[in-house]
Structure 1
Amino acid sequence: MTTFIRAINSEFAKLFTTRMWWILSLVLFLYIALLAGGLSWLFGGIQSGAITPTAGGGASAAPELDNLPSLIYSFASSVGYVFPVLLGALATTGEFRHQTLTPTFLANPRRVNVLGAKTVSMLIVGAGLGVVGLLASMGVGAIVLNSFDVDPALGDLDTWALAGRSILAMALWAAIGVGLGVLVPSQVASIVIVLAFTQFVEPLLRLASSFIEVTANIGKFLPGAASDALVGASFFTIASPASAVLEWWQGGLVLLAYAVVATVAGYFTSWKKDVT
């Protein structure tokens, strides 16, 4: 147990002695703050009557008042999840790229412990990124909504339950990033996969699958859909409100399964190989 705790401390040291973690945290905060602030201003203004839509549909085109704060706050995970995935993947692929696995395995020959420590440390760091994202979405979103006299729902237990599930989702995404980095040791390839899948492939798959009931039932098991189900809200539901969704706990289990499968597969395909 002592060896495992030391391995976790070592993983934290590896991460926090680089600039990668705080740069991604800063970009995450600014990105979510911009999106949350902008859409809070738009939809809050429409619902309060301060902004009159010029297109057809009028104010009914905006989300329902009771759901708007949750939709705004969910940006922390529904959009920001790419950051813990990237951080987890970079933390793992960096070991292969800079050949730091050699001294790591010499200090701790039990490779399962090393990988387990990296996963645990990134779960914690991913949760921290979730807090950063929530500070941006809830902080900026609540201020803008309140400026339009729209209730930011900060006194509701459901809001804080959503915040807790968002942190859990971000932690699981970081674990998925670790698994991806082990499965695809090439840093460039893993970054391309993360960005291509999260920003283009999966959104298109989710949108396409929502039109037919059979494919919708399959699409709800995509990682992004499972994450949104775990959190309980997402702006993606505006584009496809009829999409099938999992229960929040089911979404969490699906995300966990992705992390476990990727990590186990990566362990047997690359982590156990000889390193120089």
Structure 2
Amino acid sequence: MNLVRSELLKIRTTSTWWIFGLITLPLWGLTLLFNWLQTDALASGNLGDVPADQADQIQAVQSADSLAANLYTNGQFFGLLIVMLLGIIVVTSEFFHQTVTTTFLTVPHRTTVMMAKLVAAAVVAMLFWLVTTALNLVFGVLILNSVDVGTQFGSGTIWQAIGLNALAYLLWSVLGVGIGVLIRSQIGATVTGILLYLGGSIGAVAVLAVLASRYGDWINQLQVAVPSLASSLMVTGAEIPGSPPRWAGAAVLIAYAVVAGVIGVLTMRRRDIS
């Protein structure tokens, strides 16, 4: 417990947490504006001509549960990127500031140190989730009432989406720590993490769309294998026809986090530190 507090102190006494906080808030605001406009369009039904093969998907997205879940988990896309980068920095800052040798001389059990870093990154990720969720509940209610949808607080699906969003934040912090262990360079790990997250999302969507048009809609089921897309799938609120179920996204993301955490611990135990 003392080691976890020490790791949290390292984060709290540097500018890292508030810099990421300042980055998160405007990104959250921009996402909220986009989701507000999207919710208004979906609730009003002003979508123009909808292709027949997409009618079922659009109907699912227009459901009250889907609209509410989208607003109550607003900011997830950039929020997960931020907590992943925080997880990376929790590890790479030790190498950047050359304090890693002192850390392991003070606490020679490297597995214990890694577990403390994982817990500290998870705690910070949960704080980011808590703040954004509190804001989402306030502004989400206002937006939903403005389009006559209602808060949907009585729906268990909504609370499942919010809970799964918390799980996504937690797991992405673990993935960040794993990347930080594998790539010691702070700049290298940060750039790699951003490219994997953003490039993986955009690239996977484009590739899957091309393959689906050629080989059939079943290809869209493969989106669950992409971590960032699996995270989005977890908080859809309603099951989208043609897409994998929400639990599949959660299972895949848990698997990635477990693998990243185990590899991170084993790598830190065996790697020479100088």
Instruction: State which of 221, 224, 229 in structure 2 corresponds to 1:220.
Output: 224
Question: In the TM superposition, what whole-angstrom CA distance separates every residue of 1:154-205 from its partner, at most 9, and x where no partner exists?
Answer: 3433212211111111011101100110011111111111211222233321
Question: 8 Å contact 2:223–2:230 — kept in the other structure?
Answer: no
Amino acid at match of 1:174: S
Alignment-derived partner of residue 10 in structure 1: 6
Q: What CA distance in whole angstroms lies between the structure 2 residues aligned with 1:46 and 1:263? A: 40
Shift of 1:254: 2.2
Q: What CA distance in whole angstroms lies between the structure 1 residues aligned with 2:3 and 2:156? A: 37
Instruction: State which of 241, 251, 254 in structure 2 corresponds to 1:253.
Output: 251
Question: In the TM superposition, what whole-angstrom CA distance separates every residue of 1:184-232 from its partner, at most 9, and x where no partner exists?
Answer: 1111111111211222233321342251456434331221232233334
Question: 8 Å contact 1:230–1:247 — kept in the other structure?
Answer: yes
Alignment-derived partner of residue 118 in structure 1: 117
Shift of 1:271: 5.3
Shift of 1:76: 3.4
Alignment-derived partner of residue 70 in structure 1: 69
Alignment-derived partner of residue 35 in structure 1: 31
Question: 8 Å contact 1:162–1:231 — kept in the other structure?
Answer: yes
Q: Does the C-alpha gap of structure 1 residues 221 and 42 become closer, same or farther in structure 2, counting only changes over 3 Å?
A: closer
Shift of 1:36: 1.8
Amino acid at match of 1:29: L
Residue segments in structure 2 that go unaligned for 5+ positions in a row? none
- Mapping of residues 178-217 of structure 1, within 5 Å: 178-210=177-209, 211=212, 212=216, 215-217=219-221
Q: What CA distance in whole angstroms lies between the structure 2 residues aligned with 1:23 and 1:243? A: 40
- Mapping of residues 145-156 of structure 1, within 5 Å: 145-156=144-155
Q: What CA distance in whole angstroms lies between the structure 2 residues aligned with 1:252 and 1:123? A: 17
Q: What CA distance in whole angstroms lies between the structure 2 residues aligned with 1:148 and 1:17? A: 44
Amino acid at match of 1:257: A
Q: Does the C-alpha gap of structure 1 residues 148 and 242 become closer, same or farther in structure 2, counting only changes over 3 Å?
A: closer
For the aligned residue pairs, the C-alpha RMSD in angstroms reads 2.8
Alignment-derived partner of residue 91 in structure 1: 90
Q: What CA distance in whole angstroms lies between the structure 2 residues aligned with 1:38 and 1:246? A: 25
Q: What CA distance in whole angstroms lies between the structure 1 residues aligned with 2:200 and 2:109? A: 37
User: TM-score, normalised to structure 2's length?
Assistant: 0.82
Alignment-derived partner of residue 135 in structure 1: 134
Identity level (%): 29
Q: What CA distance in whole angstroms lies between the structure 2 residues aligned with 1:31 and 1:100? A: 32
Shift of 1:253: 3.2
Q: What CA distance in whole angstroms lies between the structure 1 residues aligned with 2:37 and 2:145? A: 10
Q: What CA distance in whole angstroms lies between the structure 2 residues aligned with 1:158 and 1:233? A: 6
> Matched residue of 2:225: which SS?
coil
Instruction: Give the count of matched residue pairs.
Output: 262
Residue segments in structure 1 that go unaligned for 5+ positions in a row? none
